[in-house]
Amino acid sequence: MSSSTLAHTVLPLTELGCGGGGALTIERQLSHMPGVMHVYVNPLTEMAYIEYDPTRCSPAELTAAIRRAGYGGEGT
């Protein structure tokens, strides 16, 4: 897949807490989703940076996965 077909989104997180454990949980949860190519969660800014194939998943599905992990993703 060419990088021109990938989309990027930044999603705010809530209830992440300190220590980084929540960041790793969210990264693992999202990286297993179909279409997600790269995930980075910054625990200091409480933001998730995601590169994904928009034909295989959407920001709403990414947010739902964050909520299922128990970290209250906001946004779409």
Domain coordinates in residue numbering, the chain: 16-68
Which CATH code of 2.60.40.2380, 3.90.580.10, 3.40.50.300, 3.30.70.100 fits the domain covering 16-68?
3.30.70.100
Residues 49 and 39: beta-carbon distance below 8 Å: yes
Q: Which residue has tokens 């990286």?
A: 31
Q: Which residue has the higher pLDDT, 17 or 8?
A: 8
Structure confidence at residue 14 (pLDDT): 84
Structure confidence at residue 52 (pLDDT): 97
Structure confidence at residue 4 (pLDDT): 63
Mean pLDDT value of segment 44-66 = 94
**Beta carbons within 8 Å of 22's beta carbon, 6+ residues apart:** 13, 15, 16, 41, 43, 71
Structure confidence at residue 76 (pLDDT): 43
Q: What is the pLDDT of residues 16-50, one digit of tens each?
A: 776 667 899 999 999 999 999 999 999 888 899 99
